[in-house]
């Protein structure tokens, strides 16, 4: 096999032998191996020092950031967000960590990149004057290639920039554009190895972006690069049922654990935003016993005093069961307490919400911003089909942070699972609840039932199990009319009513009435009114009968009292006669005794002499 300089295969073999030589340099026991194992800043064997990107969800997926002093590959199709990701990581290092960085642009000009990034609020012009340096390395459109092409000239220029700026991070954006200028795969591998060795020699934290998939010639230089780098990230941008979905996956990460699952992300006002999958990533707000009013006094009584502060409340029901009305009542009560509140609606805009809730006596307009007076209530409106669930979550969190909301209402949260978001909506809803709990925000979400049947209480997002309080609304159709019912399915940490209440809407607000139970059947509306009227008539009849009986008894009692008085007079008369008779008998006896004593005295008889005995003959 020919391996001379003039052979067509000499470039490929040269790259191969360079790779072998590079590997031999790091054999165990060699000086280069000892230096590599020592790492940067005294790093011990077996440990990987990581450089945070400043993208919370990405740093969480990589367990701390990209490998420091090593190379990371970011691949993805057009519009996947590769440039935003690497630029945002350099901005974080320059602005927050005071680490200078270099951005090498092979496709877009630096001025275009600066204009495109202006909407993220990174202030690139200020950073470019001190810590962030751009190098435009785009191939010229009129370039005529003559002879071999390599990266040595570019790397030499980068050496000068690194010496001057003391940069420790570097990004090569769209390196596939340069690799496409090389005529064969061997040349591409040669330059990739050249770049890799140059980065290793300088211990730079490097990020390389490249388009995924084969190029026009059917080659896939990116596939070879995946095996060379220490960390590889894949970005996906696809359309599911007309809805744009973005996801990120860590393909490999040498020497450390990482999240191997696909993680959704979005590109929002602040740039690249990766979903946080870690539970309790931040210390949660303190759990207390403070109660907040629902805005409906009788519902507060059913809940033992209202919702707990910082709790998550779920209100479920079919369309028209007054879910939005309960949401508005809670928002109104929060604003009347002086708490900043965010109401996110996927059904109606602010003007419609204000008009509709005004018909039931809830004046949300008095809490909105007017002129220069900042209002406690902010209403955000968006159509669920416009954007992915992850995009909506990012926007909700951003608005809540800006408004410093203490209470938040999502009406309905089930909209996050519509039109292409069925696979991601559940995770988004769970992360929204977790984020609200972490920040001590009381969150009330309404959700449309998964089925229209009134006895079905499941939700399409399956978040009823993680909600702290679950209020269920339903219809009861009887006697040709439809009435609303309310019951509490669960409320963690507090005693609550298990009774069904009839929910009534009027211009005076929302009220709850006791449901009428007759013969084991719940009666509401007109049937309840008719039964109550019938019961009232029966009660009145009983009252009348009782009054008649009482009157008769009182009359009889009066007669008896009169008769008793007469008898008492007769009794007193008889007693008086009896006493007189007794006194007369006593007087007569006394008089008889006196007369006898007198007779004896006149006859001279000795009263003490014994009486003569008569002897019978």
**How far apart, in Å, do the first and last CA atoms of the chain sit?**
193
Smallest CA-to-CA distance from 323 within 296, 351, 363 is with 296
Neighbouring C-beta atoms of residue 337, cutoff 10 Å: 13
Average confidence (pLDDT) over 541-565: 89
CATH C-level class of 52-274: alpha beta
Radius of gyration of the chain (CA): 47
pLDDT of 303 higher than 90? yes
Measured CA to CA in angstroms, residue 340 lies from 163, 288, 337, 527 at distances of 51, 19, 9, 42
pLDDT, position 392:
86
pLDDT of 388 higher than 50? yes
In the three-class reduction of DSSP (H, G, I as helix; E, B as strand; rest coil), residue 55 is classed as coil
Instruction: Tell whether the torsion through CA atoms of 414, 415, 416 and 419 is positive or negative.
Output: positive
Q: What are the CB-based long-range contacts (under 8 Å, 24+) for 20-28? A: 22/193, 22/197
Q: Are 500 and 486 in contact (CB under 8 A)?
A: yes
**How far is it, in rounded angstroms, from Cα 431 to Cα 446?**
16
pLDDT, position 423:
62
Smallest CA-to-CA distance from 514 within 301, 320, 317 is with 301
| Token couple for 412 | 């309905």
| Token couple for 59 | 């740093």
In the three-class reduction of DSSP (H, G, I as helix; E, B as strand; rest coil), residue 373 is classed as strand
* φ and ψ of 250, to 5 deg: -85, 110
pLDDT in tens, 319-351: 989 999 999 999 999 999 999 999 999 989 999
| Token couple for 358 | 């005004």
| pLDDT band (50, 70, 90) for residue 2 | very low
Q: Determine what percent of the chain is predicted with pLDDT higher than 90.
A: 37
| Token couple for 470 | 């679950």
pLDDT of 198 higher than 80? yes
| pLDDT band (50, 70, 90) for residue 520 | low
**How far is it, in rounded angstroms, from Cα 581 to Cα 565?**
24
| pLDDT band (50, 70, 90) for residue 21 | very low
**How far is it, in rounded angstroms, from Cα 73 to Cα 92?**
18
| Token couple for 315 | 């209100």
| 57 Cβ contact list (under 8 Å, min separation 6) | 263, 265, 273, 274, 275, 276, 277
**How far is it, in rounded angstroms, from Cα 53 to Cα 59?**
6
**How far is it, in rounded angstroms, from Cα 178 to Cα 180?**
5
pLDDT, position 16:
44
Q: Are 444 and 315 in contact (CB under 8 A)?
A: yes
| pLDDT band (50, 70, 90) for residue 269 | confident
Q: Are 228 and 234 in contact (CB under 8 A)?
A: no
User: What b/e string do you get for 109-140 counting C-beta neighbours within 10 Å, with b at 16 or more?
Assistant: ebeebbeebeebebebeebeeebbbbbebeee
pLDDT, position 56:
87
| pLDDT band (50, 70, 90) for residue 248 | very high
Cα 352–385–453 angle (5° rounding)? 75
pLDDT of 408 higher than 90? yes
| pLDDT band (50, 70, 90) for residue 169 | very high
| pLDDT band (50, 70, 90) for residue 275 | confident
Fold equal for 52-274 and 292-514: yes
| Range with top average pLDDT, 97-111, 366-380, 592-606 | 97-111
Query: Which one is predicted more confidently, 255 or 450?
Result: 255
Lowest mean pLDDT among 75-84, 183-192, 567-576: 183-192
* φ and ψ of 189, to 5 deg: -65, -35
| Token couple for 581 | 């008779």
pLDDT of 477 higher than 70? yes
Average confidence (pLDDT) over 101-112: 91
Q: Determine what percent of the chain is predicted with pLDDT higher than 70.
A: 81
Q: Are 393 and 430 in contact (CB under 8 A)?
A: no
User: What b/e string do you get for 546-578 counting C-beta neighbours within 10 Å, with b at 16 or more?
Assistant: eeeeeeeeeeeeeeeeeeeeeeeeeeeeeeeee
**How far is it, in rounded angstroms, from Cα 578 to Cα 465?**
92
With 0-12 / 13-18 / 19 or more C-beta atoms within 10 angstroms meaning exposed / middle / buried, residue 414 is buried
- Considering the four listed CATH numbers 2.40.400.10, 3.20.10.10, 2.170.190.11, 3.40.50.300, the one that applies to the domain covering 292-514 is 3.40.50.300
| pLDDT band (50, 70, 90) for residue 36 | very low
pLDDT of 239 higher than 70? yes
- Identify the bridge partners of residue 232 per DSSP, sorted by sequence position: 73, 252
Cα 564–565–567 angle (5° rounding)? 65
Average confidence (pLDDT) over 15-21: 44
Measured CA to CA in angstroms, residue 524 lies from 39, 116, 315, 454, 516 at distances of 76, 60, 21, 15, 7
Average confidence (pLDDT) over 109-113: 90
Query: Which one is predicted more confidently, 183 or 297?
Result: 297
pLDDT of 522 higher than 80? no
pLDDT, position 39:
43
Average pLDDT, the chain: 81
pLDDT, position 465:
76
pLDDT, position 43:
44
Q: Are 213 and 77 in contact (CB under 8 A)?
A: yes
Smallest CA-to-CA distance from 70 within 160, 190, 197, 189 is with 197
Measured CA to CA in angstroms, residue 384 lies from 381, 450, 543 at distances of 9, 17, 60
Element (H, E) at 113: helix 110-116
Please name the residue that has the structure tokens 């008569």: 614
Extents of the domains making up the chain: 52-274, 292-514
Q: How many residues does the chain have?
A: 617
Neighbouring C-beta atoms of residue 42, cutoff 10 Å: 6
Element (H, E) at 202: helix 185-202
């Amino acid at each position: 096999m020919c391996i001379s300089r003039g052979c067509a295969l000499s470039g490929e073999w040269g790259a191969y032998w360079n790779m072998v030589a590079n590997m031999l340099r790091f054999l165990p026991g060699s000086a280069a191996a000892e230096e590599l194992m020592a790492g940067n800043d005294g790093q011990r064997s077996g440990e990987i020092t990581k450089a945070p990107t400043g993208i919370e969800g990405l740093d969480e997926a990589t367990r701390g950031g990209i490998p420091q002093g090593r190379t990371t590959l970011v691949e993805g199709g057009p519009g996947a967000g590769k440039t935003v990701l690497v630029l945002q990581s350099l901005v974080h290092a320059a602005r927050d960590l005071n680490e200078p960085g270099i951005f090498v642009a092979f496709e877009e000009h630096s001025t275009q990149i600066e204009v495109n990034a202006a909407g993220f609020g990174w202030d690139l012009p200020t950073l470019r004057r001190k810590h962030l340096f751009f190098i435009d390395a785009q191939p010229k459109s009129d370039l005529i290639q003559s002879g071999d092409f390599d990266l040595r000239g570019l790397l030499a220029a980068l050496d000068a920039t690194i010496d001057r700026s003391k940069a420790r991070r570097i990004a090569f954006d769209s390196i596939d554009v340069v690799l496409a200028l090389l005529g064969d795969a061997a040349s591409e591998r040669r330059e990739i190895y050249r770049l890799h060795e140059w980065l290793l020699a300088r211990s730079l934290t490097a990020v390389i972006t490249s388009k995924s998939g084969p190029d026009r010639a059917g080659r896939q230089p990116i596939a070879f690069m995946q095996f060379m780098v220490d960390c590889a990230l894949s970005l996906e941008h696809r359309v599911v049922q007309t809805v744009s979905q973005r996801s990120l996956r860590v393909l490999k990460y040498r020497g450390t654990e990482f999240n191997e699952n696909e993680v959704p992300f979005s590109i929002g006002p602040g740039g690249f935003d990766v979903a946080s999958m870690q539970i309790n990533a931040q210390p949660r707000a303190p759990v207390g016993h403070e109660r907040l009013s629902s805005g409906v006094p009788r519902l507060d009584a059913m809940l033992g005093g209202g919702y707990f502060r910082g709790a998550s409340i779920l209100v479920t029901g079919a369309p028209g069961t007054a879910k939005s009305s309960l949401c508005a009542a809670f928002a109104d009560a929060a604003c009347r307490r002086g708490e900043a509140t965010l109401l996110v609606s996927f059904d109606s805009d602010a003007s419609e919400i204000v008009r509709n809730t005004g018909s039931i006596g809830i004046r949300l307009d008095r809490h909105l911003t007017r002129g220069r007076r900042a209002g406690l209530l902010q209403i955000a409106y968006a159509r669920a089909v416009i954007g992915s669930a992850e995009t909506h979550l990012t926007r909700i969190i951003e608005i809540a942070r800006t408004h410093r909301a203490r209470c938040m209402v999502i009406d309905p949260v089930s909209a996050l699972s519509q039109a292409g978001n069925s696979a991601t909506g559940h995770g988004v809803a769970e992360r929204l609840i977790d984020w609200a709990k972490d920040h001590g925000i009381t969150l009330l979400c309404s959700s449309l039932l998964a089925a229209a049947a009134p006895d079905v209480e499941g939700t399409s997002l399956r978040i009823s199990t993680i909600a702290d309080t679950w209020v269920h609304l339903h219809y009861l159709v009887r006697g040709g009319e439809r009435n609303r019912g309310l019951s509490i399915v669960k409320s963690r940490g507090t005693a609550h009513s298990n009774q069904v209440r009839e929910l009534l809407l009027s211009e005076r607000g929302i009220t709850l009435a006791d449901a009428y139970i007759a013969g084991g059947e719940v009666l509401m509306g007109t049937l309840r009114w008719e039964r109550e009227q019938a019961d009232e008539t029966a009660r009145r009849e009983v009252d009348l009968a009782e009054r008649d009986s009482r009157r008769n008894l009182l009359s009889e009692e009066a007669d008896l009292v009169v008769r008793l008085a007469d008898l008492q007079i007769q009794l007193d008369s008889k007693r008086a006669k009896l006493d007189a008779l007794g006194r007369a008998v006593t007087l007569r006896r006394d008089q008889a005794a006196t007369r006898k004593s007198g007779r004896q005295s006149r006859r001279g008889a000795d009263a003490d002499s014994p009486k003569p005995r008569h002897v019978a003959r």
